[in-house]
């Protein structure tokens, strides 16, 4: 992996009031190369969501509408109280503000926001899924997230969504003779019921299960981050002289793309490289060892719902990300995905398990570049004074979503 001098792979950033300052006068001091970097961070450069060949209904508005209903459906859980939206709250940037996600139990990682995730080749902090639809299936069967099982979910669709499902995917199979609870899950009785089913019945249920994920993915593909003051500034005819950013925000941007080298990992219009890095983040107290991408790379290869699997609509030649993915190595130990910094100042706490409670703590960590608890950190120490740390935080606030957009819920 390349060395990172300074980066900010935050889960989120601390909320607070906007830094007060005079409008920045910016006509001088910017090279053409710097301005090109700044423009590359704007949403104006965000390309349309690419087609997903593994999901034939990805662009079907009927699937997006059904997926939206699934997203908010609490009956997709063992308790009848947990939906995708329980952790991915629309009015909280599709995350939940907790250090560790809370479903029917507590997970070992922070909830990642959804906006723009359709542009990421690998999902979760460790990249163990390679599509939105495969990602959506994982929590449904997790014992600490939704806690349900495949026949339960297939029966729910048959009882409450049969017509909408059939219009998109075709008729449902006959599920009447199947056990009410069966699936390859941690609960022994449910797993035993799954093993006792005929192979043809298991495959019929697997198809319904995969299609649940594909519908949810069609909805999630409609969720993109909103335009921010930073984007409005870059789009202004007077750029880079428009006074839409404060002097501190502009100074923080200079550090971000310059000596801070934050842009090494937080680049592009979503401010993420979608890669995995060991940045020496401390282990979270009381949690089991988390090996990050080292394990995630293996899991995505083994996933029956990956792009090369039997439920993918893609040909093998279309699964380039998975086929040419770097093999898991010790270098990937404790490497975690770079999150987007858009809206980050409204999403505390930070890192993959909420290890840091403030932006300043995160910046201090990256400046100090301590040794990793396991594996090898990519960071190198860098000197940042108090003013520069404050300015980086000020710049991040220019990426905040407007209040009116913060709770927007896309229609399916």
Q: What is the pLDDT of residues 71-84, one digit of tens each?
A: 999 999 999 999 99
Predicted confidence at residue 410, as pLDDT, reads 53
3-state secondary structure 84-121: HHHHCEHHHCCECCCCCCECCCECCCCCCCCCCHHHCC
- Cα 163 from Cα 176, distance rounded (Å): 17
Q: What is the pLDDT of residues 328-367, one digit of tens each?
A: 889 999 999 999 999 999 999 999 999 999 988 998 999 9
The mean pLDDT of 187-200, rounded to a whole number, is 99
Is the predicted pLDDT of residue 183 greater than 90, yes or no? yes
Predicted confidence at residue 26, as pLDDT, reads 46
Contact 332, 300 (CB under 8 A): no
Q: Hey, what domains does the chain have and what are their CATH numbers? A: 32-46+226-292+333-406 (1.10.760.10), 61-220 (1.10.760.10)
- Cα 89 from Cα 102, distance rounded (Å): 12
């Amino acid at each position: 992996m390349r060395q990172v001098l300074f980066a900010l792979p935050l889960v989120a950033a601390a909320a607070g009031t906007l830094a007060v300052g005079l409008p920045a006068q910016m006509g001088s001091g910017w090279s053409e190369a710097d301005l090109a970097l700044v423009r590359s961070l704007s949403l104006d450069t965000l390309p349309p969501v690419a087609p997903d060949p593994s999901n034939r209904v990805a662009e079907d508005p009927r699937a997006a509408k059904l997926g939206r209903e699934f997203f908010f459906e609490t009956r997709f859980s063992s308790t009848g109280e947990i939906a995708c939206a329980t952790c991915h709250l629309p009015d909280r940037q599709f995350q939940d503000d907790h250090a560790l996600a809370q479903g029917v139990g507590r997970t070992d990682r922070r909830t990642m926001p959804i906006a723009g995730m359709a542009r990421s080749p690998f999902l979760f902090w460790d990249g163990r899924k390679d599509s939105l639809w495969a990602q959506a299936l994982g929590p449904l069967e997790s014992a600490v997230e939704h806690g349900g099982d495949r026949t339960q979910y297939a029966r729910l669709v048959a009882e409450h969504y049969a017509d909408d499902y059939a219009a998109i995917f075709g008729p449902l199979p006959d599920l009447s003779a199947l056990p009410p609870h069966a699936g390859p899950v941690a609960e022994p009785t449910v797993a035993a019921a799954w093993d006792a089913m005929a192979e043809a019945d298991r495959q019929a249920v697997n198809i319904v299960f995969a299609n649940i994920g594909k519908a949810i993915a069609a909805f999630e593909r409609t969720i993109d981050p909103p335009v921010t003051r930073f984007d409005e500034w870059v789009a202004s005819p007077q750029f880079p002289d428009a006074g839409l950013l404060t002097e501190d925000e502009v100074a923080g941007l200079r550090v971000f793309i310059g000596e801070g080298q934050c842009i090494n990992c937080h680049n592009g219009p979503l401010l993420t490289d979608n890669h995995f890095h060991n940045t020496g983040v401390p282990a979270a107290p009381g949690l089991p060892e988390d090996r990050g991408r080292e394990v995630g790379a293996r899991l995505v290869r083994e996933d029956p719902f990956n792009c090369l699997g039997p439920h993918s609509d893609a040909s093998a030649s279309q699964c380039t990300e998975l086929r040419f993915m770097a093999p898991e190595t010790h270098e990937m130990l404790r490497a975690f995905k770079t999150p987007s910094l858009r809206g980050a100042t409204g999403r505390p706490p930070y890192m993959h398990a909420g290890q840091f409670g403030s932006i300043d703590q995160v910046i201090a960590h990256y400046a100090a570049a301590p040794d990793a608890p396991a594996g090898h950190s990519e960071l190198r120490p860098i000197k940042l004074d108090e003013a520069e740390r404050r300015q980086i935080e000020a710049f991040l606030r220019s990426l905040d979503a407007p209040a009116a957009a913060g709770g927007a819920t896309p229609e399916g």
